[in-house]
Each structure stands twice: as structure tokens, then as C-alpha cells.
Amino acid sequence: MRCLALFLPRLPTDRILRARARSDEDAPFALFAEGKGGERLTAVDARAERAGLAPGMAVADARAMRPALRLAPADPAADAALLAKIADWCRRFTPLAATDPPDGVLMDVTGAAHLFGGEAALLAEAERRLAAQGFCTRGALAPGPALAGALARFAGATRVAAEASPAEIEALAARLPVAALRHDETARRRMERAGLRTLGDLLSRPRAPLAARFGPEAMARLDAIACRRREPISPRFEAPDFMAERRFPEGLTRREDIERTLAILARELCLLLERHGAGARHVAADFYRVDGAVAHIETGTSRPLRDPGLIALLLRERLAVLAEEGLDTGYGFDVIRLGATRTELCATPQADLGLAPEAEGAGADLSDLVDRLGARLGLRRVLRLYPQASHIPELAVAALPAAAPPPARVAAAPAPARPLRLLEHPEPIEAVAPMPDGPPLRFRWRRALHELAAYEGPERIAPQWWSAPQDEETRDYFYVEDREGLRFWLFRKGLSGHDSARPRWFMHGLF
């Protein structure tokens, strides 16, 4: 395993200074927050550090030392959000990138370094590009993420050779301070009071007493830094199953060029899918801007898909939505990546399913329509109605995502006729009907009086005894037609003298 760690020691101050005018750069700058005994510095920039200021110092003392000191309140949430964006940007080097809070990024670059001219060139390019964006960065590359992160923070070494032996790696780790374990301040001081100042002091002593005194977590962290045990990183996004990308010496700014690139990538991606007998159920495209910003679009499909034309069409739909929201190409996208993040087996060629042409075409057209609507609206918002096993009208049909597989057990459609669409909630009406259970003669709904010419019913629907409240009343449904030919579906709730003193009438649907 080869892991690249980037340490951003001045992330909080860089976050603010990047957005400020250069005319303000002469004065030292620091962030502060409320702490023990009042306001204290939490981060300082390079000028403030050279001026003798350091995190933890009281703001009053810092001002006394440097009256020109500029201050701003600390914002850990904004720092964390920026760190996440930096990790996303680092995915241009490898899909496996993770944050290493509060001020680091970890990347698994195993097998990726040769794309950038080797490990040293990759490390240099990552540092150079972040420096161009205004970040102070220090990087390291090592066989494990814990060792790489510790070296980036506490050592001058930037790269551990892939051929390094375990003894050489352990000797390198032994020179690191105990702060590399990244325990809290109290635990670090306890170690220092015990005469343990470097990891070598820990590695050279018996493990059992150390574990009993400082906890098993400290020993686990020590083993991870010494690469005695494998410690994978947890990337922010899972690496796609199949991926294609294009890099450009100068960024693309025109939407036509971006769409043309996506079409090319879709063809390459589909070739990979076909080679492995798979189809894409979810594809995602990442656009890496020259200045560090990252744009992302993704879309799902209702079936395993490996038609490059259809995939490109779905991506154009998503790109159109992104353009409507404001696609900022800035200085251009110099890396565009397309990946199939979720796939399924698709062994049968899609060109010939062995069905009648009209049947095949109808199914494909419906699936294409679902996919295009899903690309625009979100696949979860494209719904399809499925019958359910319930005699209650409003529970007899469920709206489920059209792209999802149909329910395993679909109930048969109810035999009685129902309006195609019911009112969202039954609306009370004023009805005149013979007592105790006669049909309505006339009713008033939404201020309009309807004289009935015909009726059919009642159809009695009892509440679900296993789930309904005890006071739930019986419904008697009537199909009625007024003298103008309008047809309604009404029901009377409750039976006179049985479960209700005075039944009430409701409008539930229209034919």
C-alpha cells in the first residue's frame, strides 16, 4: 500500500487570507476563540509565527506584542467544510481520498503514481497545486496512512521508498515524537513525565505495562505508525467499479466541449462494462477545475445500462440542470472523470432480447423515459403505482420509485371499479338521504348543489380490525350520477344507531 498524506498547518488562517486583498498581507494575522481565562489565539499565520505569536496565547498579550495584529474569530465548522472540499479536489489524483481532521488529507495512491510521472512527481504536483491555491502544505508518502500522516506533521522526510524494509520503517517511526500518536494533551504530558518523548521510547519498552498505563488505543496507534498492522483509509466516496477520465493541459470552458468529452468517456466506460458483463445502475461525473473547485453530477438508471448514447444523454440532462443552477467553469476543467459507481450483471446483449420488436421497444421506451425524467427530477421522484393487498381504497395502491424493482408480491387489482384518482383527503359534503341507510338524493359539495339521477350501492367497507382504532367507523360507498351526467364516488361514514349517532357524508373521488 502506498499512501500520500497532506498536512495543511495553516488551514484556518489560509481559509480567510485566500479571500483577502494582497494589501492586507503585511500585518500578522491570527484567529481567536474563547478559552481558559478569556480569549486566546487558536491559529496564526506565518507572519504572526515569525513575530513570536503562537496558538494558546492570550489575545491581550498578543496585541501587546504586536499592535498591528489582525484578528478574526475561529470557525471550526468552516475549516472542516473547506477540508472536505480539499479532499474532494484531491480525488483528481486517486478516487480513494479521505479527510484526516482537523487539518490533513489522506490518499491511497497505490498504482496511481505512474500516471503522474512517479511518486516524487505526484507528491510535488499535489503540493504545488495546493500552494497555487493559497494553502501552506507539507506532504509525505509512506507504506501506511498513519505513518504518512505522522511524517507530514512531524518530520522533514517526504517519501519512504517502496523498497524500505520493516526495520527501516520502524527506525523512521522511532524518531517521531509521542505527539504523533495524536492523543490529547493530558495523555501526551503523562508520557513525557514518564520519560517517553519519542515513539522509539515506546517501541523499545515492554508492551503490556505501556498498554495498562496508556490504554490499548495508544498501542494500536503505535503499531499503525510503525506499519506493524494494516490500517486502511475511509475514503469520502467509494471508488467506482469502472472509470474513465480525460486530462487536458488547459481547462475546458465551453459546454459543448464538456458534453463531447462526456460522450467519449461514456463510450470508454461502456467498453469496460461490456468486457466485464456488467451494466451501470448509477453513473457519476466529476469535473475538476483548474483553480481547485470540483463539480459533480450523478444519475441513476432503471435497468443495467451500457449504451453509451443513452448514458451520454442522461449526463447531458444532468448537466443542463447544473447549468440552470449556475455552472461556473472558471478557468476551465482540466480533469473530467466518469465512473459507474453501481453496477449489475448484464450478460444478455441489450440489442436483442429475443422478444417481439414492438414489445421490446415499448419496454425500452418506458425505461428510457423513466431514466430521462429521473436525470432531470431525481430518480426517486419518478413514481409508479402498484396495487397493494388492502380493501381500504386509499391503501389499495402505493406509489413506489419506477426505477426500483417491483414488489415481490403484488396483490391482484380489486374487482370493484374505482375512480382513477381519489381526492387526497375525503371532503365533507352536505347530503340528504332517507334514514337509516338509504342512498343520497341530493348533496352539496364545494357550494354546488347536485340533484342525483341514479345511484349504485352501497359497497360496505369495514375498517382493518387489526390496525384501525377502536372508534373507526364503517363506510358505505355509493356510485352516483347527477342530472348533468357527472359521476361521483361518495361514502357515508358510520351507521345510524350502531357506531354513530348521526352518519356523515364525504366525497372521495370523481369518475
Q: Do 295 and 387 lie in a common domain?
A: no
Alpha-carbon gap, residue 283 to 300, rounded angstroms: 6
Cell numbers placing 460: 360496505
pLDDT-derived band at 32 (thresholds 50, 70, 90) equals very high
Q: Is the pLDDT score of 350 beyond 80? A: no
Q: Which residue has the higher pLDDT, 396 or 234?
A: 234
Q: Do 267 and 228 lie in a common domain?
A: no
pTM: 0.70
Q: Which residue has the higher pLDDT, 318 or 25?
A: 318
Q: Which of 216, 236, 256 is the C-terminal boundary of a domain?
A: 236
For residue 152, what pLDDT is reported? 92
Q: Do 105 and 218 lie in a common domain?
A: yes
pLDDT-derived band at 448 (thresholds 50, 70, 90) equals confident
Q: Do 297 and 313 lie in a common domain?
A: yes
For residue 412, what pLDDT is reported? 59
Alpha-carbon gap, residue 287 to 332, rounded angstroms: 9
Eight-class DSSP state of 178: G
- pLDDT by residue (tens digit) across 307-327? 898 899 888 888 888 887 777
Alpha-carbon gap, residue 6 to 96, rounded angstroms: 14
Cell numbers placing 415: 374487482
Three-state DSSP class for residue 58: strand
Task: Establish if 16 belongs to a structural domain.
Answer: no
**Lowest-confidence segment of 2-16, 65-79, 386-400 by average pLDDT:** 386-400
Task: Establish if 50 belongs to a structural domain.
Answer: no
Q: Do 112 and 221 lie in a common domain?
A: yes
Task: Establish if 198 belongs to a structural domain.
Answer: yes
Q: What is the mean pLDDT of residues 92-107?
A: 91
Q: Which of 322, 345, 368 is the C-terminal boundary of a domain?
A: 345
Q: Do 248 and 119 lie in a common domain?
A: no
For residue 348, what pLDDT is reported? 60
Residue range(s) defining the domain that contains residue 323: 242-345
Alpha-carbon gap, residue 194 to 305, rounded angstroms: 62
Q: Is the pLDDT score of 229 beyond 80? A: yes
Counted domains in the chain: 4
Task: Establish if 499 belongs to a structural domain.
Answer: yes
For residue 410, what pLDDT is reported? 56
Q: Do 449 and 340 lie in a common domain?
A: no
185-193 helix and 207-214 helix, angle to the nearest 10 degrees:
140
Q: Do 339 and 467 lie in a common domain?
A: no
Cell numbers placing 384: 409508479
- Are the C-beta atoms of residues 418 and 489 closer than 8 Å to each other? yes
Q: Is the pLDDT score of 345 beyond 60? A: yes
pLDDT-derived band at 416 (thresholds 50, 70, 90) equals low
Q: Do 303 and 217 lie in a common domain?
A: no
DSSP 8-33: -TTHHHHHHHTTS-GGGTTS-EEEEE
Q: Which of 202, 236, 270 is the C-terminal boundary of a domain?
A: 236
